[in-house]
Amino acid sequence: MTKRDYYETLGVSRNATDDEIKKSYRRLAMKHHPDRNPDDKQSEETFKQVKEAYEVLSHPQKRAAYDQYGHNMPGGGFDGAGMGGVNFSDIFGDIFGDIFGGGRAGPQRGSDLRYNLDVTLENAVFGTTVELTIPVHAACEECSGSGARKGTSPVTCKDCEGYGQVRMQQGFFSVQQTCPTCRGKGKMILDPCPQCKGRGRRKQNKKSSVKIPPGVDTGDRIRLTNEGEAGEQGAPAGDLYVQINVKQHPIFERDGVNLHCEVPISFVTAAVGGELDVPTLNGKIKLKIPAETQSAKVFRLRGMGVPPVRGGGSGDLLCKVLVETPINLTPKQKELLKEFEKTMSVDNSHHSPRSSSWFNRVKKFFEEMKFRE
């Protein structure tokens, strides 16, 4: 039977580099290996062809002879009796190293922590500094986080030589796994610290200072580097993430960089105008109410809102006035209001244009409804 071209078998061009040939071989070998395709004769045959092609093309002299003579090259190429000098354990060691995360392990970095912080609207707008007390695993002061008794040091693991991982050889497979002796740390503690029992960490309340910048809002997160849990045996600490929640304010409601508030006014003030004090986060300010102001009118006070957390001009304060209907009127007051209403009824459209317009639309609506019937 005619043999398939080796370059075609590996799916590479004839001028492919050694790295390209090796990369293609690794991919195909993993795909068609018998252990991954049990009872699949086609995959087994393909795997053998891939091995044979790689054995030749990975060897400079054999590749040169194959390029010149093809399958009639001196020596006949791969004889099937061995590995032909190919270090398959290295190849499959690389493959499984990629899968299982090869490389030096060592002590693990500390965990990140999250702290939910409630702040007032005033502190969110103007910024502040807050002192936090957080229960964490901090570095043991007795052994300075090493886990070893004071005056001693951890020693390099003899089994993994400090890498934290070892290779298990099975045939031509080399599987990389966590060192069972040091449990991936790469070091051994022969004389543990009596305070932390060799862990290098102890539970304690840690104080941290966090600066709240002006303009923060609910959902913002502040990162404090190395303020999280201490790492194992002197490894770097994790980070502390402070999650901001701005508490509800009794007067103002926030919308991005703008603030909103409702201001009740009497119907007399709304009709004839006037001035009143309105609150801002910077203190009181005079708000001029022009005559004939309607309920729900919004007045904008520029620059009285929230500064953007990333810089720029502050937002505005939006004051919505609500005309308040008087209650608990005395008989005299009721009589005066009725007299006032009589003076308004002479030409109501002149004094209440919106009311007149609305009633006209209602009248037209009913007339059209009657016509349809």
Q: Which of 19, 181, 4 is nearest to 91 (CA)?
A: 19
Same domain, 128 and 60: no
Residue 140 lies in domain: 113-246
Same domain, 134 and 206: yes
> Could you tell me the two tokens for 184?
């991936």
Same domain, 121 and 204: yes
What CATH number should be reported for the domain holding residue 285? 2.60.260.20
> Could you tell me the two tokens for 134?
């957080």
Q: Residues 119-163: pLDDT tens digits?
A: 999 999 999 999 999 998 888 888 988 889 999 988 988 888 888
Q: Residues 295-351: pLDDT tens digits?
A: 999 999 999 999 998 888 999 999 999 999 989 999 999 999 898 888 876 665 566
Give the chain's mean pLDDT.
83
- Per-residue burial over 338-351, b if 16 or more Cβ lie within 10 Å, else e, is eeeeeeeeeeeeee
Q: Does position 103 have pLDDT exceeding 60, yes or no? A: no
- The residue-averaged pLDDT of 31-46 equals 84
The pLDDT value recorded for residue 186 is 84
Lowest mean pLDDT among 57-71, 102-116, 234-248: 102-116
Same domain, 126 and 227: yes
Lowest mean pLDDT among 52-61, 330-339, 358-367: 358-367
Sign of CA dihedral 211, 215, 217, 219: negative
Q: Does residue 101 sit within a domain?
A: no
Same domain, 163 and 189: yes
What CATH number should be reported for the domain holding residue 31? 1.10.287.110
The pLDDT value recorded for residue 94 is 45
Same domain, 271 and 309: yes
Q: Does residue 93 sit within a domain?
A: no
With bands split at pLDDT 50, 70 and 90, how would you rate the model's confidence at 83? very low
Say what the pTM is: 0.58
Do 246 and 254 touch, CB atoms closer than 8 A? yes
Domains in the chain, number:
4
Placement of tokens 């019937």 in the chain: 373
Highest mean pLDDT: which of 39-53, 184-198, 245-259? Answer: 245-259
- Give the residues across from 232 on adjacent strands: none
d(CA 305, CA 316): 4
- Using H for helix, E for strand and C for coil, what is the string for 235-251? CCCCCEEEEEEECCCCC
With bands split at pLDDT 50, 70 and 90, how would you rate the model's confidence at 373? low
Placement of tokens 């502050």 in the chain: 314
Same domain, 242 and 127: yes
- The residue-averaged pLDDT of 51-64 equals 88
The pLDDT value recorded for residue 86 is 44
Q: Residues 178-215: pLDDT tens digits?
A: 888 888 888 888 999 999 888 888 888 989 999 999 99
Same domain, 353 and 310: no
Q: Does residue 340 sit within a domain?
A: yes
Q: Does residue 102 sit within a domain?
A: no
Per cent of the chain over pLDDT 70 is 84
- The residue-averaged pLDDT of 72-83 equals 50
With bands split at pLDDT 50, 70 and 90, how would you rate the model's confidence at 90? very low
DSSP three-state, residue 153: coil
Same domain, 127 and 208: yes
Same domain, 312 and 359: no
Q: Which of 194, 227, 246 is where one domain is finished?
A: 246
Angle among Cα 232, 238, 241 to the nearest 5 degrees reads 155
Q: Does residue 315 sit within a domain?
A: yes
The pLDDT value recorded for residue 63 is 87
Same domain, 205 and 315: no
Same domain, 70 and 141: no
Q: Does position 72 have pLDDT exceeding 80, yes or no? A: no
- DSSP structural state of residue 145: T
Q: Does residue 278 sit within a domain?
A: yes
